Each structure stands twice: as C-alpha cells, then as structure tokens.
Structure 1
C-alpha cells in the first residue's frame, strides 16, 4: 500500500473537522424532530376517544404472544362485537361517553364476575354526569346520568353474543327502538346492576369505541361456545293511553303498545347444543304524551 502525503492528510483532517461541526450544528434539530415525532405518535395512539383506544392495548398484547418467553400473554381473538346508535348532540351523549371511558380497557379474569356498577361507579354531578332523559316506570324523566343504560345494553349484547354467563340483568320497563327486543340491561346505581361471569378459562378484555352517533363494544379473548339465538314474535299486546303534560320537566313521548317477547340463546360446543336459555321480557305500554 502506498503512503499518504502531507497534503492528503491535511485534507482528511479538514473533512473530519467539518463533519464534527455539522453534527454539533444539526444534532439538536434532529433530536428535537425525533422527540416531536414521538410525542405526536404517542398522542395519536392514545388518541381522541371518538375513534376508540385500542392501539396501545391490543398491539403490546399480541407482540408479547409472538415473542414468547416468561410473562408472554396468549393471543387475543375478537369474541364478539355490538353497536348501538343514538342522535348526536343530546345531553345523554355526554353520559354515554363518560360510561364508555370508564368501561374501556377493563379486564375480567377467568372465573371472575363483572359488575357494571362496580366498574363504572356512581353517576353523579361531581363525576361529570349531567341530567338527561331516563326511563322512570312508564314515563321519561330527566335524571343525572340518563343514557348510561345504552352503555350497559351495548355491553349486554356483546356478552350475549360471546356466549358468556349472564348472571344478573333486567330489561327496561319500556321498549326503546335503539335496542333489540328482549336483549337489554337496565342499570341504576347501586340497586339495579348488570353482572356476568367469565367462564371461558382465559381473561376477557372489554374495548369500547364511540363516535358522535354510535357506541361499539368489542370483547377480546377466547370463545368457549358458538352462539345461536332466536326471538319470538311479539305477543300479549296492551294498548297505550294518551295524556298531556305541563311544565319545563315534561318530556313528549310517542305512544307504543306494551307487549311480551321471548329470546332464546343456544350455546354449542363442537356443533352440539350444550345449553338453551330463555329470556322473557314484558314491556309496559308507552303513553303518548303531549307537552303544553
């Protein structure tokens, strides 16, 4: 190999000096850009709750399963999903969002019983809930936390479709078209609760997403049963009455007949029916109310 002369050595030292100067000059900008990108990415993943929360919860779980080794979690599968809808801008939408945030990310361990009231907590003004129409007997009346039953009912249907063990649930006294007939869970803290048990042998994670007009509950875990269901025709009809209400607290109502309905859920394993459940519901007539 030939020797490097003094001129080329001086040129090499000059290039290295310029490189060190360039690194000192541009590194703060590059580092700041990387940090800003990280913050923006973190904000995107934590994200507006309008589109859900799932990236931070789902991806690490699956990555851990792929890596294997100590502490690795089993891969999640979508057990069921259910969506209900509502009109945008109503006061109840705020309560629905609060309930959805409280519910999202909850994990129910094998054999554990999940209580909606324990998970979501009291619906009070101090916790941010506002008055909104709620079913009170055979009428609608403003109540703090009104609308929270849309969260419990959406969860109920996801639990129903996942084949999980429903331990405590009661339908509303009036049927509302937002919900499937005979498949709902009314809640009122602390007396009236919706509870179900995780009988799958593995953990179940609740994921809740919402938009301005819809609410979706996904359940992640491993199914134990295939689910089939059947809903009867309505029967036992009862006529509704008409009336007039006065004052600022009056809520107008469209009259609807009362009726009864039966829902059957069939749980199957390896194609064979393991259990058949009947859910019977009696809905009161909904009076027609005109507010003056």
Structure 2
C-alpha cells in the first residue's frame, strides 16, 4: 500500500484545514478530513515495476513551453473534461490555472508538481474568493475551485497510464468530480504529482468553455489502461448547522460514503501493475446561512 501522508495544518483548494492524528488513527478534532487516497500495487506486478516504485525522485519543475506542439509521431494519449456552472466566481480561478498549464512539457523521467507549476493562488495573481472545502463545510476563499483543474489533470494522467506519485481526494464528495478519482490541492503543502514514465515528452493542453474544462495529454502511450469502480458503501448520515458571515456557503446536505477505484496497466496486452484508490467522503451537513 502506498500512502500520501500530510501532517499539520494545510490549505485545501485555498482553505485552511487542521489535521490532528493520534494513535495511528485519523481523529477528527474541529475539522473533519477525508481519508487518504492510497495506491496499492498488486503483488503480481513485474519486478521492474516494483523496482521503479521503490525509487522516488523528488518533484522537479517541468519545463514550460507555452507554444509547444506535439512532435512527429506523437499523438493525443488522453483527454478528460469536467463541467461547472457558468458565471460562478470560481470559473475565473479555473481559467487562470488552466492558462498556466497550457503548453507545459514534461520531460521523460521528470516528475510534474501541480503546485510548483501553478504557483500560489493570491489576489495579486488575479484569483478571487470562491467556495472551497474547509473541513466538512464550504467557505469562500481566494482561489476556491482550482481543484477542478488539478482533478481534470489527474483524470487525464490516470487515463494515459502515467505514474501517479502523490494524490489525495477531497474530504467531501462534489458532483463536479468523478467519485474516487480526484486530486485535492492547496498551496504549498497539499500537492498532486505524477512522473512521466512513458519514455517520451508529454505536452499538457488545456481548453475551456463557459461550462467545461478539458485537459489533453500529447505524447506516446506506454501502457494501456483498464479501470473499474466499486459501488458506494459504508454510508454515514449527515447533520445540520447554521453559518454566519460573508464566507458562509449554503449546503443541501449529503451522506458520507466510501468507494474504491482500481486501475490496471497493461503492456502488450499483459497486466504489469494494479493500483487501488480508496476514498472515504465525510458527510456534508445541511447548512443555512444566517
């Protein structure tokens, strides 16, 4: 089992989260967080795959090439689209981050860091307040909604069969994202990283409309990908509460649940690696803003 561990206070999608840990068990104190999104390698994977996972190079900045175009023999290896409501404040944040990523090239063997590529989400860089997850509630925070960009990129990487190094799901399920397949980010601590193990450069392409964001990856595919998801299980009821102040965001309430996603990588039709992504979403209380 491979886990991504984050201790101490972090900001998720622009919001401060507190994460106490005691006796090896995730304990909720003040703010509840979702479980880690772990990746379990199948015991039957080839020795080469196991050796590759044992050595983890530190994340390095991917060279920026805003005008880069795929080279000869390269093609689109994945594309993923997520949706949002037109006119929401977070749309501006999504567009800023998407423009920064567009045209980035990740060299063979390099590890791409979302936070290092996108940088801090501040007013001076054009980001605006928008709903962001804070514990088990939504609050308005500068840069809110940028996790839509990291999640869309994550799914493109997932489908391309590239090596996912560090990722964690949100504590709450949001219908804009595919359940169990998302990447929460918060600058500078909570990051999404992946390694280009394809042997060829990978170019990131982004595009957006008034209601959609699309991330495409161009390069040469090394692995074919098969995936499946479990049904929802381990349901938990939600409560209700009242919020005050300009940062309050009304919430309808939603049960918590757990879900598993499996990804199998195949080379020449033979499985070489299996990964399990386990996510537990916390209940979302029904919130009225006073």
3-state DSSP class of the match of 2:252?
A: coil
CA distance in 2, matches of 1:83, 1:247: 34
Pick aligned residue for 1:235 from 229, 233, 236: 233
Unaligned runs of at least 5 residues, structure 1: 1-54, 62-72
Residue 248 of structure 1 and its aligned partner are, at CA, apart by: 2.6
Q: Summarize the alignment of residues 154-233 of structure 1 with structure 2, pairs less than 5 Å apart.
A: 154-233=152-231
Higher relative contact order (CA 8 A, sep 6+): 2
Q: State the structure with more CA Rg.
A: 1
The C-alpha deviation readout for 1:47-82, integer Å capped at 9, x for no partner, is: xxxxxxxx9644xx5xxxxxxxxxxx4322110000
TM-score w.r.t. the length of structure 2 is: 0.76
Which residue does 1:92 correspond to in 2? 90
- Corresponding position of 2:280: 282
Provide the secondary structure at the position in 2 that maps to 1:78.
Answer: strand
* Stretches (4+) displaced over 4 A: none
Residues of 2 paired with 1:150 and 1:226: CA distance?
Answer: 25
Partner of residue 143, structure 1: 141
In structure 2, how many angstroms separate the alpha carbons of the residues matched to 1:207 and 1:78?
10
Q: How many residues align?
A: 226
Shift of residue 245, structure 1, vs aligned partner = 2.0
The offset of 1:244, in angstroms, is 1.9
SS in 2 for 1:95: helix
Offset at residue 247 of structure 1 (A): 3.0
Q: Distance in 2 between matches of 1:126 and 1:228?
A: 42
User: 1:111-159 deviations in whole A, cap 9, x for unaligned?
Assistant: 0000000100100111111111101110101111001100000000000
Structure in which a larger fraction of residues adopt strand: 2
Structure 2: 5+ residue runs without aligned partners? Answer: 1-65
Bigger proportion of residues as helix: 1
Alpha-carbon distance, 1:289 to partner:
0.6
TM-score (norm 1): 0.75
The Cα RMSD (Å) is 1.5
- Once residues 170 and 164 of structure 2 are traced to their aligned partners in structure 1, the CA distance between those partners, rounded to angstroms, is 16
Q: Does 1:269 pair with 2:267?
A: yes
